Each structure stands twice: as structure tokens, then as C-alpha cells.
Amino acid sequence: MTLVLKDNPTLRDFQQYVLQMKQERGFNTTDKFYECCLLAEECGEVISAVRKNSKNGSIGSGSKVGDVAEELADVFIYICSLANMHGIDLEQAFRDKEEKNKQRTWKRL
């Protein structure tokens, strides 16, 4: 199978692509807890990349500045994967949540 993400993909297209990619590569598609652990690890890598790219960030000798875009893409992949494992349509979940958020009163501290 050749993986192809169509031009102008929807969120549903991304979810389908991630499922096919994980199946094709033999990656986890059922262990939700393990997937959460991997997501948490990738979130930590985003934080590290942002810190290393910040004005006050520091990195050790031999280290290289993390690529925030790549780390965010990894997080996105794991989010799509977890949604797939739970049978969640992320686009619909986003729309539903945003409708609830529109009804909230937001306070600024």
C-alpha cells in the first residue's frame, strides 16, 4: 500500500492517513494507554524544542536546537491516533466543544 495524503485534506483525512500509516508500519493501533504515554513524551519534546528556540533557552554542547514544527507534527499524529482508537471524529469533537465554549463566560486574570 502506498500512503498518500490528498491535497487540501480534511481533519478526517488526516485521521484516516494516520490509521493507514500505523497499520502499514506495524505501529500500535489498539493500546490506548501506551499511546497516551507516547503522546506525553512528544509533548515534552515540543516543550524542549520551544525552550531551546527561545531567547533564554540553552542547550548543551553537542546538542542541536529542536525543530518545533516536527515535534508538533508528532503530537498531531498521536492525537489523531488516540482519536481513532476511541472512535472519535476530531472535527466533530472540535465543533461540539467550541459550541460549548461559546456559551461560557471567559475571565481574564
74, three cell numbers:
508528532
* 84 occurs within a structural domain: yes
* Range 89-94, long-range pairs (CB < 8 A, 24+ positions): 89/12, 89/15, 90/11, 90/12, 90/15, 91/10, 91/11, 91/12, 94/11
Domain with 79 in it: 29-57+64-89
Chain segment 51-103, per-residue pLDDT in tens = 888 777 665 544 455 689 999 999 999 999 999 999 999 999 999 999 999 99
* 52 occurs within a structural domain: yes
Q: What is the pLDDT of residue 2?
A: 85
* 22 occurs within a structural domain: no
* 11 occurs within a structural domain: no
Chain segment 35-44, per-residue pLDDT in tens = 999 999 999 9
Chain segment 4-18, per-residue pLDDT in tens = 999 999 999 999 999
Q: What is the pTM of this model?
A: 0.85
